Structure 1
Amino acid sequence: MDIIVEQEIELHQYDVRQSRADVERLIHPSFSEVGKSGLSFDFTSIVDMMSSEEPSSFKIHSQKYECVQLEPSVQLLKYESASIAPSGEISDYAKRCSIWIFTGSCWQLKYHQGTPCPAFELIYNK
């Protein structure tokens, strides 16, 4: 589902992460996460973490999106991500999964998990 991929990518953007209105639009109030670090987050702690972030010159690259319907209103989104420094150095390789639910009016992120993984080849869309 294109809208879910688009919204996931929105959450990679600093400006979106700094906007409380965007965060509330995209993330469900009962959100939970097991981060790549192994730390767990809920809605309040993820909002606090995002609001304290500093601008960064690193970019998040994501690819190989696969959406699996679990129920008509529940989608599992799987993908790979990595951080790219301005120098071109690539780090923080991870496999990620997100569960998105349709609330009746919009899709919201309900659960997210990131797992460190070995380096992979980056695919750039042209």
Structure 2
Amino acid sequence: MTQKITQELLDELISLERQLLEPNVRESKERLSVMLDDDFYEISANGLLFNKRHVLSRLPNEKVPQFYNQDFRGQMLAENIAQLTYQAAYRRNAYSNLQYSFRMSIWRKNTSSWQLLFHQGTPSPEFALKYD
């Protein structure tokens, strides 16, 4: 039987998830390498697969979009595996329309820290943004 996620762990994982959206993290191969599990992979909104090597070569060179995220939920899948789901909206620049998605991330606790193991973003209908 899996354990219920604690509020403390949920808050930690939300913080880690949001750090991955920060320009100083996204632009740093070193920071990304620490935060991404060696077995990391992502399924992008357009159905492409990316592994850690792809992300480390691509992400630091991309223009950082404007992100909003909200309604985080978490659950434990195993003692050292946690899942986050949330709503996200982003735009490439101030003049582009928002793109809406549902996101899921799976985090794995390695020797001393949580690392992102899997991420997927699925396009969704527009939803109301909550600015908090």
Per the normalisation by structure 1, the TM-score is 0.90
Quick one: distance in 1 between partners of 2:23 and 2:46?
20
User: Residue 72 of structure 2 corresponds to which residue in structure 1?
Assistant: 65
Deviation above 4 Å: which 4+ runs of structure 1? none
CA contact (8 A) 1:82 1:90 kept: no
Q: Which residue of 2 aligns with 1:119?
A: 126
The aligned amino acid for 1:61 is Y
- RMSD between superposed Cα atoms in Å: 1.4
1:32 aligns with 2:41: yes
| Structure 2 unaligned residues grouped into runs of 5+ | 1-9
The one-letter code matched in structure 2 to 1:21 is E
Provide the residue aligned with 1:82 in structure 2: 89
Q: 1:108 aligns with which of 115, 119, 124?
A: 115
Which residue number corresponds to residue 20 of structure 1? 29
Paired residue total: 122
Q: Does 1:44 align with 2:74?
A: no
| Structure 2 residue 35 is matched with structure 1 residue 10 | no
String of CA shifts for 1:92-112, please: whole Å, max 9, x gaps.
100000000000200000000
The one-letter code of the counterpart of 1:43 is K
Structure 2 counterpart SS, 1:123 = coil
Gaps of 5+ in 1: none
Cα deviation for residue 90 of structure 1 reads 4.7
Scaled by the length of structure 2, the TM-score of the pair is: 0.86
What is the identity percentage for the equivalent residue pairs of Structure 1 and Structure 2? 29
Q: Does the 8 A contact of 1:31 with 1:111 survive in 2? A: yes
Q: Is the 8 A contact 2:33 2:56 kept in 1?
A: no
